[in-house]
Amino acid sequence: MVRALQGLPMRMRTVVVLRYFHDLSDNEIAADLRIAPGTVRSQLARGIDKLRGQFPTLSGPSSEQPSEGTQ
């Protein structure tokens, strides 16, 4: 996770860390960074999308399981 976070641009990384590791609100982050709350939300959304791309998706059961009635 740390390596993936380091791959984000500084402001994006800061917004993600303040939200998910320090549990700050959009308004608190905006005030701390002196940016608009809308910028916080867009940076957070983009940052989460980039982080999700760094990790394989966790999916449900494999599609290779036998279907009902077959074994």
pLDDT at 55: 82
Q: Is residue 13 part of a domain?
A: yes
For tokens 């380091």, name the residue: 6
Q: Is residue 28 part of a domain?
A: yes
Q: Is residue 34 part of a domain?
A: yes
pLDDT at 54: 85
Q: Among 5-14, 23-32, 51-60, name the one with the lowest average pLDDT.
A: 51-60
pLDDT, averaged across the chain: 86
Number of domains, the chain: 1
For tokens 């641009």, name the residue: 9
CATH code, 27: 1.10.10.10
pLDDT at 20: 94
Domain that residue 13 falls in: 2-54
Q: Is residue 63 part of a domain?
A: no
Q: What is the largest CA-CA distance in the chain?
A: 61
Tell me the percentage of the chain whose pLDDT exceeds 70.
80
Q: What's the CA gap between 35 and 39, in Å, rounded? A: 7
Residue 64 has pLDDT above 90, yes or no: no
